Amino acid sequence: MAFLPSGPLTLKGGCFCSAIRYEICIPALSERPLVPGALPTSIPPASSITYQPAPSSDAAAEATTTVPNRLPTIEYDHCHSCRRACGSLLQVWIIFELKWVTFKLVPRDEKLGSVGHINSREQQDKMVRYETQDIVKPSKELQAETYIGLYSSDGEAQRTFCTRCGTPVAYHFSGDRGPDWNLGPLIDIAMGTLGKAVDMIQIPQITDAYQIKRASTWKVYDLISMGGGMTARVG
């Protein structure tokens, strides 16, 4: 298991064709809020940075400690909605405070068609920065002027995708989280859309945050039937 650096850092990413790009400014560890309601995350000894089966002896259990679960957090999401929306058995989200994230969009241009990446300097220079709140709930005008797409199955869950290349980019819940919620709005970024910086975030050992243990014993049927999320601390 690996952790993010304790100092501030920036992650970048975007959709497959680069019509949608984002930048995430993660504050120092001391400013990263606890994940509401999350259980502490078990971490293996510092020498272990790759997947290890759950401890099978008392000695191994004693060598494992726990840390508070802070944002950003990785969520292995196999709920019915996210499986259908991403077209795979498992969506992996990395969750941030909305205010940490900014987006830039390429203006819609018929000349771009639907072939090839948008990576020329000319197109990059045309990108426009938008408030993230406007990205997760884009107006009809913004959807017409750019390649930002919105799908909402119930009005409270906004899924952002690229209408040019089809990449699912983000998820945002805008409904009421209840009286105990003490954080601002969050945004889930599809982890596969992160750029090369993702190399520094090794996928951590799956933990028992949702009372699920021994991931090595999972089968496809288990992923489908459990129907809940799972989080693991990365920072």
CB of 119 to Zn ion, least distance (A): 11
Residue 192, SS3 per DSSP: helix
How far apart CA 233 and CA 194 sit, in angstroms, is: 17
* Residue in the block written with tokens 């920065």: 129
Decide if residue 101 touches Zn ion (CB under 5 A): no
The region of 49-57, 154-162, 199-207, 227-235 touching Zn ion under the rule CB under 5 A is: 154-162
What does 52-110 look like in DSSP terms, one character per residue? Answer: -PPP-SHHHHHH-EEE--BSSEEEEE--HHHHHHHTSS-EEEEEEEGGGEEEEEPBP-G
**Does 127 sit near Zn ion (CB under 5 A)?**
no
Q: Does 104 bind Zn ion (CB under 5 A)?
A: no
Nearer to Zn ion, 169 or 187 (CB): 169
# binding residues, Zn ion (CB under 5 A):
6
For Zn ion, the closer of residues 3 and 130 by Cβ is 130
> Which amino acid appears at position 69 of this protein?
N
CB 219 within 8 A of CB 72: no
d(CA 91, CA 172) in angstroms, rounded, equals 14
Q: Is 54 in the site for Zn ion (CB under 5 A)?
A: no
**Of 170 and 206, CB closest to Zn ion:** 170
- 58-70 residues labelled b (16+ CB within 10 A) or e (exposed): eeeeeeeeeeebb
Query: How far is residue 119's CA from residue 27's CA, in Å, rounded to a whole number?
Result: 29
Least distance from Zn ion to the Cβ atom of residue 195, Å: 14
190 binds Zn ion per the rule CB under 5 A: no
- Residue 18 or residue 207: which is nearer to Zn ion going by CB? 18
Q: Which of residues 5-24 bind Zn ion (CB under 5 A)?
A: 15, 17, 19
CA separation for the pair 93, 73 (Å, rounded): 8
In the list 74, 162, 189, 232, the residue contacting Zn ion (rule: CB under 5 A) is: 162
Contact predicate 148/160, CB 8 Å: yes
Kindly tell me which of 112 and 200 has the beta carbon lying closer to Zn ion: 112
| 206 scored as a contact of Zn ion (CB under 5 A) | no
118 binds Zn ion, rule: CB under 5 A? no
Q: Which of 21, 32, 164, 233 binds Zn ion (CB under 5 A)?
A: 164
Q: Smaller CB distance to Zn ion: residue 118 or 232?
A: 118
169 interacts with Zn ion by CB under 5 A:
no
Residues near Zn ion (CB under 5 A) are 15, 17, 19, 162, 164-165
